[in-house]
Amino acid sequence: MKFQVEKIREDFPILKEKIYGKDLIYLDNGATTQKPKVVIDKITEHYSKFNANIHRGTHYLSQVSTENYENARKTVQNFINAKNDYEIIFTKGTTDGINLIAYSFGEKFIKENDEIIISAMEHHSNIVPYQVLCQRKKAKLKIIKMDKNGVLILEEMDKLITKNTKLISIIHASNTLGTINPIEKIIKKAHNKNIPVFLDAAQSIQHLEIDVQKLDVDFLVFSGHKIFAPTGIGVLYGKEKFLNKIAPYQSGGDMIKTVTFEKTIYNELPFKFEAGTVNYTGAIAMATAINYIENIGIKNIFNYEKKLLNYATKKLLKIDGLKIYGNSDEKTAVISFNIKNIHHSDIGEILDKLGIAIRTGTHCTEPIMDFFGITGTARASFSFYNTFEEIDKLYEGILKAKKMLS
Ligand code: PMP
């Protein structure tokens, strides 16, 4: 399919909105993405025509609802090329999936003095659950360092691995720096030592083609809301051999086979990990979002966003005193920056009045801020519905902010 941004923009109702009387320029896609009309319509259609709780009813609507939900699982399976549909667990989102693994994998496989390796550029969601686990089990968290360009120093990882290393958990693409990590290499190195690898794909799934079998990754998580689907739904992929060995993270309805007051037998995969009424409407709408982006083509999306990134990087670097954090050769379309002697949140506020939505602050990555010795950054994160004209307006807006604040 030919990539036509103007046509694509027509699919996203919110992009027609005015903010303070100005055209919305939405550059906060790292935080959440906007939704195409097909996704919004899918939610309305589900609640208007098919809604009933899944897996529980013999009646018609429950059967349709269940079928649509299980088809959504197959859509996700095909999207990331998982071997089996039951290796796809629906969660609330990335954070939920990480907590599930940190808890359940941790309970089974982590003991005193064991070690877990993460990296210097993790989102808080891929740090804190492991800190909690390490506290619980008296295990140790080790950190792969990065250089000043925001690139991981892989030789560091080699040095960190010991016979006690039980898990490596890595961000695929950094929400703050844009860095795309060399996960193929990381997975190979880890597997050579029989260490499973967990991938936080919250910022890669919407930009890069991901094939979990080709990568041979052991676990992977992402959030629906970052791939043009609703909030409150996400995915945990796990290899069957691990998911079968670990116990449920939450318990209650639907995750059981039989219950007596004396004993409960857990359900099989994937239901064992889906306690209670799951967000089946979200899963169904996420499948629509996946079909939508697959129709455009993830490669087309990546190539277009790369052009946006290159254009924006060159343009913003023309601004005197502007510094970009994250200068890896392999980047998603994210630009974190500061301007000398100006606070990032002041830039964000002025841009907001111009209708330009960017994010300011630490982006849930305080260790990255500590590394660079800063309190935060301004971050513009792009998606395939953004345009070169919007980047020009961002540039003009930053110049205006600079003039006002200097
Ligand atoms: N990891 C990364 C890399 C992220 O960017 C985010 C969201 N900013 C998360 C984890 C957490 O995602 P969620 O809030 O959807 O659980």
Q: Looking at the CA of residue 172, tell me the nearest atom of ligand 1.
A: 3
Answer yes or no: are the C-beta atoms of 324 and 335 closer than 8 Å: yes
CA–CA dist 271, 175 (Å, integer)? 31
The mean pLDDT value for 71-81 works out to 98
Q: Is 202 in the pocket of ligand 1 (CB under 6 A)?
A: yes
pLDDT band at 57 (very low <50, low <70, confident <90, very high): confident
Q: How many helices (H) and strands (E) does the chain have?
A: 14, 17
Q: Is 171 in the pocket of ligand 1 (CB under 6 A)?
A: yes
Q: Is 203 in the pocket of ligand 1 (CB under 6 A)?
A: yes
Q: Is 223 in the pocket of ligand 1 (CB under 6 A)?
A: yes
Give Cα 202 to chain centroid, integer Å: 1
Judge if the upstream peptide bond of residue 367 is cis by omega within 30 degrees of 0: no
Type of residue at 155: E
Q: Which residue among 95, 181, 363 is best mutated to probe the pocket of ligand 1, counting the most ligand atoms within 8 A of its Cβ?
A: 95
- Give the DSSP letter string of 188-241: HHHHHTT--EEEE-TTTTTTS---HHHHT-SEEEEEGGGGTS-TT-EEEEE-HH
Contacts of 322 (CB under 8 A, 6+ apart): 316, 337, 338, 339, 340, 398
The mean pLDDT value for 286-303 works out to 98
Answer yes or no: are the C-beta atoms of 220 and 281 closer than 8 Å: no
Q: Which residue among 29, 174, 175 is best mutated to probe the pocket of ligand 1, counting the most ligand atoms within 8 A of its Cβ?
A: 175
Give Cα 278 to chain centroid, integer Å: 19
The torsion of the CA quartet 168, 171, 173, 176, rounded to 10 degrees, works out to -140
* pTM to 2 decimal places: 0.98
Q: Is 134 a catalytic residue?
A: no
Give Cα 307 to chain centroid, integer Å: 22
Q: What is the percent of the chain where pLDDT is above 70?
A: 100
pLDDT in tens, 141-156: 999 999 999 999 999 9
| Catalytic entry in 38, 319, 364, 405 | 364
> Would the CA dihedral through 319, 320, 321, 326 be positive or negative?
positive
| 123 CA → ligand 1 middle, Å | 7
Answer yes or no: are the C-beta atoms of 53 and 65 closer than 8 Å: yes
| 353 CA → ligand 1 middle, Å | 27
CA–CA dist 91, 96 (Å, integer)? 6
Q: Is 93 in the pocket of ligand 1 (CB under 6 A)?
A: yes
Q: Is 125 in the pocket of ligand 1 (CB under 6 A)?
A: yes
CB atoms within 10 A of CB 213: 11
pLDDT in tens, 99-116: 999 999 999 999 999 999
Q: Looking at the CA of residue 94, tell me the nearest atom of ligand 1.
A: 16
> Collapsing DSSP states into helix, strand and coil, what is residue 292?
helix
Q: Is 175 in the pocket of ligand 1 (CB under 6 A)?
A: yes
| 154 CA → ligand 1 middle, Å | 23
Q: Which residue among 32, 118, 123 is best mutated to probe the pocket of ligand 1, counting the most ligand atoms within 8 A of its Cβ?
A: 123
The pLDDT score that the predictor gives to residue 278 is: 96
- On the question of pLDDT at 1 being above 70, the answer is no
Structural domains in the chain plus CATH codes: 5-30+297-405 (3.90.1150.10), 40-294 (3.40.640.10)
The pLDDT score that the predictor gives to residue 30 is: 98
pLDDT band at 287 (very low <50, low <70, confident <90, very high): very high
Side-chain half-sphere of 276: how many Cα atoms within 13 Å?
7
pLDDT in tens, 217-270: 999 999 999 999 999 999 999 999 999 999 999 999 889 999 999 999 999 999
| 58 CA → ligand 1 middle, Å | 37
Q: Looking at the CA of residue 225, tell me the nearest atom of ligand 1.
A: 15
The pLDDT score that the predictor gives to residue 36 is: 98
Q: Is 381 in the pocket of ligand 1 (CB under 6 A)?
A: no
Answer yes or no: are the C-beta atoms of 382 and 28 closer than 8 Å: no
pLDDT in tens, 355-369: 999 999 999 999 999
The mean pLDDT value for 393-399 works out to 98
pLDDT band at 2 (very low <50, low <70, confident <90, very high): confident
- Give the DSSP letter string of 78-138: HHHT-S-GGGEEEESSHHHHHHHHHHHHHHHH--TT-EEEEETT--GGGTHHHHHHHHHHT
Answer yes or no: are the C-beta atoms of 404 and 37 closer than 8 Å: no
Q: Is 374 exposed, middle or buried (0-12, 13-18, 19+ CB in 10 A)?
A: middle
Cα radius of gyration rounded to whole Å, the chain: 22
